[in-house]
């Protein structure tokens, strides 16, 4: 009878842990730095030629309804690379990103990051 009691106790503990995991998910600490941000690298290049695009302004927002304006995150270098830290907001969809060429040679591109674990992201811009 004691073994049945121990079996039920173990099953109850396992069930409680499973429910906790299902409600709160896996810990996200591995993808964030010490400031709660996800470091990412964007490689921006021309869709037509594949050449890197220098001077593209990378902007970000965490509000899909436009209530929060985009803020500047960085600018691509001569290799088309921009390294940024994306703030992690729990229970907020996004972040929304905008890639804009101030010279006007490329169309503005808007996108949403769904997985902050992805670190190196390639962005293709269409020439105007």
CATH (domain of 70): 2.60.40.1120
Question: Is the residue at 57 inside a domain?
Answer: yes
Question: Is the residue at 17 inside a domain?
Answer: no
Q: What is the pLDDT of residues 30-78, one digit of tens each?
A: 556 566 677 889 999 999 999 999 999 998 876 655 555 778 889 999 9
Full residue range of the structural domain in which residue 54 is found: 30-125
Domain count across the chain: 1
> CA angle 80-71-44, nearest 5°?
15
| 8 A C-beta contact, residue 64 and residue 38 | no
Question: Is the residue at 71 inside a domain?
Answer: yes
Q: What is the pTM of this model?
A: 0.65
Give the percent of the chain with pLDDT over 70: 60
Give the percent of the chain with pLDDT over 90: 30
pLDDT confidence of residue 89: 56
pLDDT confidence of residue 78: 94
Question: Is the residue at 4 inside a domain?
Answer: no
Question: Is the residue at 10 inside a domain?
Answer: no
Question: Is the residue at 58 inside a domain?
Answer: yes
């Amino acid at each position: 009878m004691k073994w049945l009691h121990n079996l039920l106790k173990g099953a109850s503990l396992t069930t409680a842990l499973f429910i906790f995991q299902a409600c709160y998910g896996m810990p996200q600490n591995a993808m964030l730095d010490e400031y709660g941000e996800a470091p990412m690298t964007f490689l921006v290049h021309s869709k037509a030629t594949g050449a890197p695009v220098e001077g593209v302004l990378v902007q970000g927002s965490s509000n899909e309804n436009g209530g929060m304006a985009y803020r500047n995150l960085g600018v691509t270098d001569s290799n088309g690379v921009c390294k940024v830290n994306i703030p992690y907001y729990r229970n907020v969809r996004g972040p929304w990103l905008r890639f804009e060429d101030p010279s006007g040679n490329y169309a503005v591109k808007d996108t949403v990051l769904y997985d902050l674990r992805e670190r190196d992201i390639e962005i293709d811009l269409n020439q105007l």
